[in-house]
Amino acid sequence: MAKSNSNTKRKGIWLLFTEEQLAAAIVLLGGPIKALGEEIWRLNVETGLPTSLWFQITEKLKIVHNEKIRHSLYKIWHSNSHNIYKYVQDELKSKNRIFTLIDIICIYILNYKSDL
């Protein structure tokens, strides 16, 4: 995964987390990432529920869940300036590589045990 430039001064919402942390939180949702684009940022009875994707991201980042934070996350996701989608894609590729390696090891172990 690409590293964020830690030499730049962080401000605003970026004081709470890094691009990598946000990408990891999005990947941990485990569902269709495209659904983030469909969920509104405005906080209401429905979007305040734990089933809300933005709520789940704030929980994973261990930050407060309010409309201002939701709006910031929404703008980051829909903006090209932070390349969050690329961070997410890199994180997914990394997870898939690890998963594939684990699969190979498990298959090897299962095959080895069957020869005993």
Q: What is the pLDDT of residues 3-59, one digit of tens each?
A: 554 446 778 999 999 999 999 898 888 766 778 888 888 988 877 888 899 999 999
Rounded Cα distance, 24 and 84, in Å:
10
pTM beyond 0.75: no
Range of the domain at 83: 12-114
| Domain presence at residue 27 | yes
| Domain presence at residue 82 | yes
Rounded Cα distance, 59 and 83, in Å:
22
Counting residues of the chain whose pLDDT is more than 70, the rounded percentage is 73
Rounded Cα distance, 104 and 46, in Å:
42
Count of domains forming the chain: 1
CA-angle at 45, arms to 43 and 50, nearest 5°: 85
| Domain presence at residue 35 | yes
| Domain presence at residue 2 | no
User: In one letter, which amino acid is 42?
Assistant: R
Q: Is 12 exposed, middle or buried (0-12, 13-18, 19+ CB in 10 A)?
A: exposed
